[in-house]
Amino acid sequence: MKKLTLLLAALLVMLSLTMPSCKKHDTPDALVAVEWYPIELEIYVQNKDTVDLLNYEATYYVGNDFMLTYNGTVYRMQTKYSDENPELILGKNKATNRYMAYFGTLEGNQEYDTDFTLTWKDGTQDVIHLKRKITDILESEDHWLLNGEEIKQSSPCGVFTITK
């Protein structure tokens, strides 16, 4: 029995010496690149009869009548993409066939407690507020408010419909 135990121990030692060792990239110590979704705003504007007021063919088009202020900078509506980032551009959601004011793209990996103020031609304002807290490596708690009322969102993209 003693010889069998010695033989098994020797065999285990030999096997452990001949097995390949773990390579550095196989360990969990390797860092993985983390990609956050950017934060974007989609703003739809309609009248009480749900007429799309950002459709430039509409009688009461308001696309040139407002500006968005964020972080002390004023953004006016643009009709085409430029290198300025973030920016406010007129776009069309193909799924809903509605025009929107698109504002983005803000870094998704940051915490925010900030306002986006829409100022209309008549001097009235609508305020969108974002409070974002990073809770984990790829998770956050986002709270969106439109004029003080919480608006539930299902993504980091804030979608708002404003009735004028």
pLDDT digits (tens, 9 = 90+) for 41-94: 999 999 999 999 999 888 888 888 889 999 999 998 887 666 655 688 888 888
pLDDT of residue 78: 81
- Domain boundaries, given as residue ranges, for the chain: 39-163
Q: What is the pLDDT of residue 1?
A: 57
DSSP string, the chain: -HHHHHHHHHHHHHHHHHSPPPPGGGSTTS-----PPPEEEEEEEE-TT--BTT-TTSTT--TTSEEEEETTEEEE-BSS--S-SSEEEEEEETTTTEEEEEEEEE-TTS-EEEEEEEEETTS-EEEEEEEEEEEETTEEEEEEEETTEEE--SSSEEEEEEE-
Q: What does the pLDDT read at residue 57?
A: 86
Average pLDDT, the chain: 82
